[in-house]
Amino acid sequence: MPTNRLHCLDEKHETLRAALSEADKGRFVSQEAMDAWVLSWNTDAEAPPPEVDLTGIRLLVHGQTSSSSSRPASNSRPVPRSQ
């Protein structure tokens, strides 16, 4: 496998690792909030990225057990790390 392809795979692995680390914190943005944000793009009233509105959610990853708050994890997205 060419070196640049290995670098790409390493980069994807690191991105996934970081996303799973954030997901472990149980802080998510609901699908509804994400949809409203995306629909505001390229409009005169473009909204800022949504805030966390779901907490206490645990994802089912690699066969581990999961607990959830009042909403299922399938309706949420991991929150990107603050810059």
What is the pTM assigned to this prediction?
0.51
Q: What is the pLDDT of residues 24-75, one digit of tens each?
A: 888 889 999 999 999 999 999 999 999 999 988 776 666 554 444 444 445 5
Tokens at residue 67, please?
């607990």
Q: What is the pLDDT of residue 76?
A: 52
Q: What is the pLDDT of residue 30?
A: 93
Per-residue HEC secondary structure of 13-41 comes to HHHHHHHHHHHCCCEEEEHHHHHHHHHHC
| Higher local confidence (pLDDT), 12 or 76 | 12
Q: Average pLDDT, stretch 75-79? A: 55
User: What are the angstrom distances between the C-alpha of 18 and each of 32, 42, 47, 48, 51?
Assistant: 24, 29, 26, 23, 19
Q: What is the pLDDT of residue 68?
A: 42
